[in-house]
Amino acid sequence: MNSIVCLDDLEKYSKRMLGKSVYDYYATGANSEQTLHENVESFQRIRLCPQLLKDVSERHLSTTILGRKLSFPVAIAPTAMHSLAHPEGEIATAKAAASLQSGMILSSWSTTSMEDVISASPNCLHWFQLYIVKDRRLTETIVRRAEKAGYKALVVTVDTPVVGIRLADLRNGFKVDSSIRLPNLEHENSSNTKGDLYGPIQISPAVTWKDVGWLKTITKLPIVLKGILSGSDAELAVENGVAGIIVSNHGGRQLDGVLGTIDALPEVVEAVKGSDVEVYLDGGVRKGTDVLKALALGARAVFIGRPVLWGLAYKGEEGVKMVLEMLKNEFSTAMALSGCTNAQEIPKSVIRYLPNHASKL
């Protein structure tokens, strides 16, 4: 345990613990994985320029997302099938998030029901990730369940009209064991709720902005769109009355070759300026300095996916707590060393780009 001091250490440990097929399912990306690597490398091309001789003896790490408080601006992104990493699955994840006063977006492809997750961690901020599937009755049923269970927002994934080409899964012949349930997708007229992630029930390739409007007619929950990468789509999101945007490329698992999320962030932030739409980011966050950079560029908070799975594989709930505590400590240290005292007021002036990396601030 003493040798595990950062998130990269946890990933190396989990790679040894998980079988190749499961590790590759979690860790790999689409096609040649250009975007997968770009998510991390883009953060490394951004440098920090600290404000010195500031009194940083007290630092305020908390923030709010859609009016709900987080103890620090990091929460858990939706990832599928946590029980492949640890028997307690999403319940362990949610309990860890609750213990640090963080939040969690539960995946539609969770191996634990949305009701069981929220009842096991009532003090956690819970959002629910939604795909609009071909069976609109199933979509509406899922939305009603999320409302009734107490979820505070719907996070609609918009970058998956079809599943990206993931070469490692194809080479491994990745399949989910028949004992694995996907209880959030269970439906009286549904037959492929056990393991067939790519069955026709799961995804509709015909979803458009009109469907965002349709969702707003069947729920009072705020809607957050996950997968926006451009200013033009961000403007449409504002026009369609969403509450938030997660700048995301699905962890590099969908269209390979798209921008790293930190590179896409400034354009999206600029596009929603003057509106009430909040902007968040996921993808590539591995250090506290990454959190600081994202906030300096306009994100209100960041969400982490794969590191949570590495923590689960290491030691379940305790491992996920370790992940969050590492990032919280690193972020607090980065704030101090950058001369920042309030997570909600990280200035752009602490950011510098390398000369060969063009981006709009």
pLDDT at 331: 98
Buried b (16+ CB within 10 A) or exposed e, 28-48: bbbbebebbebbbebbeebee
Positions marked catalytic: 250
List beta partners, residue 280: 246, 301
pLDDT tens by residue, the chain, 361 residues: 568 999 999 999 999 999 999 999 999 999 999 999 999 999 999 999 999 999 999 999 999 999 999 999 999 999 999 999 999 999 999 999 999 999 999 999 999 999 999 999 999 999 999 999 988 999 999 999 999 999 999 999 999 999 999 999 999 999 888 888 999 998 654 544 444 554 545 788 999 999 999 999 999 999 999 999 999 999 999 999 999 999 999 999 999 999 999 999 999 999 999 999 999 999 999 999 999 999 999 999 999 999 999 999 999 999 999 999 999 999 999 999 999 999 999 999 999 987 765 555 5
Residue the block writes with tokens 């509709």: 204
Residue type, 257: G
Token pair listed for 47: 């440098």
**pLDDT of amino acid 192:** 45
Domains of the chain are: 7-353 (3.20.20.70)
**Whole-number pLDDT of residue 179:** 85
Q: Residue 178 has what pLDDT? A: 82
pTM: 0.95
The residues near 253 (Cβ < 8 Å, ≥ 6 apart) are 28, 29, 30, 36, 164, 166
What is the Cα–Cα distance from 271 to 236, expressed in whole angstroms?
10
pLDDT at 197 (0 to 100): 52
Q: What is the pLDDT of residue 200?
A: 42
